C-alpha cells in the first residue's frame, strides 16, 4: 500500500506506522507479514489539498504543516 505524508516524519514514526498497519493487515486480511508492503511517499504541502484548500494555505493545518516541513506561506504567517 502507498502512504502519502507531508515531509518531516521520522524513521521511528514511519517504522511504528508500518508495524501497526502490518499487524492490522495480518489480522483483518489474513495476509502473511512478509507480503504486506508499505511504501511511504513524501508530498510537499503545496501538492496536496484537503477540502479544496492547499495544505500549505490551510490556517487550521498551519501548525501541522510547519511542524512537518511544509512549504509556502500559511494564513497564520
Check residue 65 and give its pLDDT.
58
Check residue 60 and give its pLDDT.
81
Check residue 59 and give its pLDDT.
83
The grid cell for 38 is 508499505
Residue 18 near residue 24, CB atoms below 8 Å = no
Write out pLDDT tens, residues 30-77: 999 999 999 999 999 999 999 999 999 988 866 665 565 555 443 333
Q: Beta-strand (E) ranges in 1-77?
A: 2-5, 39-42, 49-50, 53-54
pTM metric for this prediction: 0.71
Residues in the chain: 77
In angstroms, rounded to a whole number, what is the distance separating the alpha carbons of residues 25 and 45? 28
Amino acid at each position: 500500500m502507498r502512504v502519502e505524508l507531508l515531509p518531516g516524519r521520522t524513521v521511528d514514526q514511519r517504522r511504528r506506522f508500518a508495524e501497526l498497519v502490518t499487524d492490522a493487515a495480518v489480522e483483518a486480511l489474513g495476509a502473511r507479514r512478509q507480503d504486506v508492503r508499505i511504501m511511504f511517499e513524501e508530498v510537499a504541502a503545496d501538492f496536496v489539498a484537503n477540502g479544496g484548500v492547499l495544505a500549505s494555505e490551510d490556517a487550521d493545518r498551519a501548525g501541522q504543516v510547519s511542524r512537518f516541513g511544509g512549504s509556502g506561506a500559511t494564513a497564520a504567517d
